[in-house]
Structure 1
Amino acid sequence: MSRILITGMSGAGKTTVLHELSRRGYRTIDTDYDAWVLPDGTWDEPRMSALLASDSSLVVSGTVENQGRFYDRFSGVVLLSAPVEVLIERVSARTTNTYGSSEADQHAIRQHVLDVEPLLRKSATLELDGRRPVPQLADEVERLITSDQI
């Protein structure tokens, strides 16, 4: 039973990699949707605890302040990273999520790269360059999943 967390800044490619893993047949949860994140910007801890107590393998994506409370329940934490200019370009162009379209959002992303990303890097099992082709990124995550199932 593998549980992998994919984390990183907005625009790093978390959702895109999650979609590819879902297409390959893996159970995935994008915590940016379906009320996983509470109004204070943290995960709904009872709900996340129940999810991680289930007996199925899954890949979760998200970046929230309290995610570290769950690291011991993941078999791997993958940090997707990219230069801030790439992040800003991506969030400015996307149509499925409005976060990142305003100057205030983009300023926050720049600040998070400085303040939050180093913390994520310290806790990550694996860091991947989010500029790599999506199939390659999914292959790397899939290796983590399958190595934990052996």
Structure 2
Amino acid sequence: MARILITGMSGTGKSTVLAELARRGHLTVDTDYEGWTDGDGGPWEEERMTRLLATHEDVVVSGTAENQGVFRDRFAQVVLLSAPIDVLLDRVTRRANNPYGKTPAQQEEIRRYTIEVEPLLRRSATLELDARRPVADLADEIEALVKASSPQG
């Protein structure tokens, strides 16, 4: 099984790493888009996620949702991307592909989630990577996990 979950706080670069993995030919799903949640950063649509994981042995999923633990046993690896809060806030204010994180209220929410939620993600992660590393390096490391976790391994 080569199902990999990339998780972490807003601004860690989950979508950027996922895009690099897709460019390299991996099947990827970014749960921040295309109706995987209610659009407000809520829980994953469980029926849809169940179908995805039941029909794809090789997929890299990216996202952070309050119900991701329901699916933990269906992922071979859970990779936590992490970075200091100042890096996260700088990234979310500069990014153009996602409006979340631009307002002071959203930035405070990111601070709070980093303190309260990131430790929970860390406990279920099989690997933590420093999100300040170059995207290609992060993708290389995750790609190695995909290959190592694959039945063809």
Question: Which TM-score band (shorter chain)?
Answer: over 0.9
Asked if 1:92 is matched to 2:121, the reply is no
Aligned-partner Cα distance in 1 for 2:122–2:19: 23
Matched position secondary structure for 1:4: strand
Query: Over the residues paired in the alignment, what is the CA RMSD in angstroms?
Result: 1.0
1:34 corresponds in structure 2 to: 34
Deviation at 1:55, TM superposition (A): 3.5
Shift of residue 96 of structure 1? 1.1
Q: Aligned residue for 1:58?
A: 59
Q: Which segments of 5 or more consecutive residues in structure 1 lack a partner in the other structure?
A: none
Which amino acid is 2:26 matched to? Y
SS in 2 for 1:77: strand
Deviation at 1:129, TM superposition (A): 0.2
What amino acid does structure 2 have at the position aligned with 1:65?
E
Superposition map of 1:86-125 within 5 A: 86-125=87-126
Q: Please say if 1:146 is aligned against 2:147.
A: yes
Which runs of 5 or more structure 2 residues have no equivalent in the other structure? none
- Which residue in 2 is equivalent to 1:75? 76
Secondary structure at the aligned position of 1:34 is classed as: coil
Structure 1 counterpart of 2:6: 6
Query: Are the structure 2 counterparts of residues 19 and 39 from structure 1 closer, same or farther at C-alpha, using a change threshold of 3 Å?
Result: closer
Letter in 2 for 1:73: R
- Return the TM-score normalized by structure 2: 0.96
Q: Cα distance, 1:132 vs. partner?
A: 0.1
Q: Structure 2 CA distance, aligned partners of 1:39 and 1:139?
A: 30
Aligned equivalents of 1:81 and 1:55: distance in 2?
Answer: 27
The 2-side partners of 1:96 and 1:61 are apart by 15
CA distance in structure 2 between the partners assigned to 1:128 and 1:106 by the alignment: 22
Whole-Å Cα distance in 1 between the matches of residues 139 and 22 of structure 2?
10
The one-character-per-residue Cα deviations of 1:3-62 (angstroms, maximum 9, x if unpaired) are: 000000000010000000001000000000000012570000000000000144110000
Name the CA distance, whole Å, in 2 between partners of 1:19 and 1:43: 20
**CA distance 1:55–1:97, change in 2 (3 Å):** closer
What is the letter of the counterpart of residue 23 of structure 2? R
Give the AA of the match of 1:33.
Y
One-letter amino acid matched to 2:11: G
Question: Who is 1:43 aligned against?
Answer: 44
